[in-house]
Amino acid sequence: MTTIWFVLPAYNEAKNLEPLIASIHNAMVTNNFTYRIIIVDDGSIDNTLDIAKALSVSLPIDIIIHPQNMNLGRTIKDGLAYVNNCYKHDDIIITMDADNSHPPDIAIGMISKIAGGADLVVASRYEKGGAEIGLIFYRSIFSRTINKILQIIFPLRNIKDYTCGYRAYSGQLLAKAFGYYHDQFITEKGFTCMAEILVKLRPFIGKASEVPLVLRYDLKQGKSKMKVIRTILGYLFLIKREVRLNKIYVSN
């Protein structure tokens, strides 16, 4: 039986975690899916970890603990590496933010596309029907600009949103990535890790797809973790490095 794995990087998400987990549970139970949630607590200084532990008593939740904050890249890396040691190749792995800005109900369509033969499905703000609600204007402009640049330099058919962390991967795809890159699959520390993952997956993706995402920043409680200037510089360094290395990835 296929298991749906959810990898949730969490840093100070005490106000958001419980309603998100409840929504995931309801979506999975309503559609008769077997699921498991991996919460990676990235050194939270609120009671995120306590809430995760309480939820794990009655729900299929595993918790990975970072004693101190190690940033999104390491958190996603540790979550996916954990699942890589547990899942079957016909399982489906979903990454999503733990801040309640990613609606779990659209995961059903993502799962359906993977079951229908897609290797990767991205929940996209730029797919028809997608939108951003509550995002500061300059953040929206920056996101659209960097996504367009990535789309031009590292084209991936049917994909327009390279930076959103809400994605579904087939078990076979992640197995190929870990088998090829090993510990170097994810090396970026910050938000740029999501673009790095897509660039490195390109040689192994036969079919990719998007579903529209209405990103609800207005539902998010707490401050954004993104440092804009640092993230811009991170994307520039990532693009420079991957342009140099990408031919190696493709040729191999």
The CATH number given to whatever domain includes residue 194 is 3.90.550.10
Give the pLDDT of residue 158: 97
Q: Which long-range contacts (CB under 8 A, 24 or more apart) does 137-143 make?
A: 138/228, 139/226, 139/228, 142/228, 142/232
Mean pLDDT throughout 223-242? 74
> What is the pLDDT, as a whole number, of residue 221?
55
The pLDDT value recorded for residue 33 is 98
Q: Which residues lie across from 53 on neighbouring strands?
A: none
Q: What is the pTM of this model?
A: 0.90
Share of residues in the chain with pLDDT > 70 (%):
93
Q: What pLDDT is stored for residue 227 in this prediction?
A: 61
Distance CA 128, CA 202 (A): 23
How confident is residue 53, by pLDDT bands cut at 50, 70 and 90? very high
HSE, CB side, 13 Å, CA atoms: give it for residue 23.
17
Looking up tokens 């600009």 gives 145
Which tokens in the block code for residue 190?
A: 């910050």
Average pLDDT, whole number, for the chain? 91
Task: Give the domain range for residue 29.
Answer: 3-251
Domain count, the chain: 1
Which band of pLDDT confidence, cut at 50, 70 and 90, is reported for residue 83? very high
